[in-house]
Amino acid sequence: MNKIDFSGTKSFTSTRNACALCAPLGATLAFRGIENCIPLVHGSQGCSTYIRRYIISHFREPVDIASSNFSEESAVFGGSENLKTALDNVIRQYHPSMVGVASTCLSETIGDDVPMALREYSASGRGDGVPVVQVSTPSYRGTHAEGFRGAVRSAVESIAKGGTSDGSINFFPPIISPEDLRHLKDILKDFGINGTVLPDYSESMDGGAWENYYKLPAGGTPVKAILNMGRASASIDIGLCVTAPLSAGRFLSEKFGHVFYSTGLPLGIEACDAFFRILSELSGNPVPEKYLKERGRLADAYIDAHKYLAGKRAVVYGEPDLATGIAQFIEETGVKTVLCATGSRGMSAGFSSSLPQIDGVKCALADDADFTTMLELCRDLKPDMVIGSSKGFYLSKNLGIPLIRAGFPVHDRFGGQRLMHFGYQGTQQFFDRIVNAVMEYNQNSNSIGYSYI
């Protein structure tokens, strides 16, 4: 594996234009995927403002995020009293079914013992019995991808109970779009699977227009469903890069003894085939005809577009599960990944053996990446396109090549929350976007400006 050690390519110690967002942001998004849950950021007001800015610009939905609102005094003497007061306030004002507490760099750096503060809060009889789930999310120890997985794992550890199996199946996807989540639930319904998806922000982060304002929008995985996750017959982690400490599915399997699967994001024919085989095995039902037809149309599209994509070179970046999924998918189409990068650490887990190859050499893999250093590398790698979030516009503009937007955040285009990547249908839509971006670039960069390609 051609793995790039970024520390060896830098003549500096700081990160410039990070290829990631903060860990509490990921936790907040996960908590918004739980029904009637209010996220509470334990730190300064600025942290929650930063998180709201990114989430709102991508999802185009109002997002309430509580804060324990550190002051200079709490930064010196500790913020446990701020946290308890914040819990009192949000429970009184929002009447949530759950509060999700995500710590920040500030609270972690001063050594706030959040679990102890929450035990004291519960022992004092405050909180009206509302469950409080806490996740440690200092951004110097992880990105929004780890914060997202960590919040899901913490929710399961805190709430899930065992009992007689109810035959359901637990699904733990990475950060995907609300449209992807809706499609996933449709797939499970077509297979006849009683599935619980955690988190599920398909409605809470992409709902309809309101006649009245709601502090907490409808939608999300019910807390009761999380409670019953220990009674499932199987748990499935979706994503190749889920480490054991962040794996909710592995935790449930080890604690309650049911079957555990780990599979890649179903993006591309091979990955979709693997995911659908698991669903067929668990449900005892064959793959529905509609999905076989979708697969056939996708394979035909690969053939039709081969003349546009064959031999093209791409830089792929983003959350580890999405970035690795894209790299494997575009390899099927004739596009070669010259650099697969993420702001997270340890992306190679579960992925290095299947990295795409160019002329017998595996693509470069960069953990803990930043866009400034990626640009320096790209000048030698000579890519034809970049694929990832809006943050990669920096690469696109400086290299003069197209950016195909995918993942989170997409804040310089409209409809990022409805971009699909999941299943044969999502792959088809993503594939069309890639081909059209290449065609548009060829058209605009040609001096003749031909209209038929």
Residues 337, 238 share a domain: no
Residues 154, 82 share a domain: yes
- Residues 76 and 252: their CA atoms lie apart, in Å, by 39
- Residues 338 and 39: their CA atoms lie apart, in Å, by 38
- Answer yes or no: is 439 within a domain: yes
> For the domain that residue 285 is a member of, what is the CATH number?
3.40.50.1980
Residues 181, 279 share a domain: yes
How far is residue 95 CA from its own chain's centroid?
28
Residues 214, 109 share a domain: no
Can you read off the two tokens belonging to residue 76?
């010196």
pLDDT in tens, the chain (453 residues): 455 555 445 555 577 888 888 999 999 999 999 999 999 999 888 888 999 999 999 999 989 999 988 877 766 666 788 899 999 999 999 999 999 999 988 888 888 888 999 999 999 989 889 999 999 999 888 899 999 999 999 999 999 999 999 999 999 999 999 999 999 999 999 999 999 999 999 999 998 888 888 889 999 999 999 999 999 999 999 998 898 999 999 999 999 999 999 999 999 999 999 999 999 999 999 999 999 999 999 999 999 999 999 999 999 999 999 999 999 999 999 999 999 998 887 655 545 555 555 445 556 777 888 899 899 888 889 999 999 999 999 999 999 999 999 999 999 999 999 999 999 999 999 999 999 999 999 988 887 867 777
- Answer yes or no: is 327 within a domain: yes
Torsion angle, CA of 54/58/60/61, rounded to 10 degrees?
Answer: -60
Torsion angle, CA of 320/321/322/324, rounded to 10 degrees?
Answer: 80
Reduced to 3 states (helix: H, G, I; strand: E, B; else coil), residue 246 is: helix
Residues 248, 185 share a domain: yes
Please answer whether residues 201 and 408 qualify as being in contact, where contact means their C-beta atoms are separated by less than 8 angstroms. no
Residues 225, 135 share a domain: no
- Residues 444 and 141: their CA atoms lie apart, in Å, by 43
301 φ/ψ angles, rounded to the nearest 5 degrees:
-65, -40
Please answer whether residues 317 and 369 qualify as being in contact, where contact means their C-beta atoms are separated by less than 8 angstroms. yes
Range of the domain at 398: 3-12+290-444
For β-strands 313-317 and 385-388, DSSP reports them as parallel
How far is residue 58 CA from its own chain's centroid?
13
Residues 362, 314 share a domain: yes
The one-letter amino acid at 74 = S
In order of 23, 172, 232, 263, the CA distances from 150 in angstroms are 9, 12, 21, 18
Residues 437, 317 share a domain: yes
Please answer whether residues 322 and 406 qualify as being in contact, where contact means their C-beta atoms are separated by less than 8 angstroms. yes
- Residue 189: half-sphere exposure toward Cβ, Cα within 13 Å: 6
Reduced to 3 states (helix: H, G, I; strand: E, B; else coil), residue 18 is: strand
Look at the chain and report how many structural domains it folds into.
3
Residues 428, 302 share a domain: yes
Instruction: Give the end of a domain, one of 115, 133, 159.
Output: 159
Residues 146, 217 share a domain: no
Entry pTM: 0.92
Please answer whether residues 113 and 42 qualify as being in contact, where contact means their C-beta atoms are separated by less than 8 angstroms. no
Please answer whether residues 411 and 57 qualify as being in contact, where contact means their C-beta atoms are separated by less than 8 angstroms. yes
Phi-psi region at 171: left, alpha or beta (left = phi > 0; alpha = psi -120 to 50): beta
Residues 309, 421 share a domain: yes
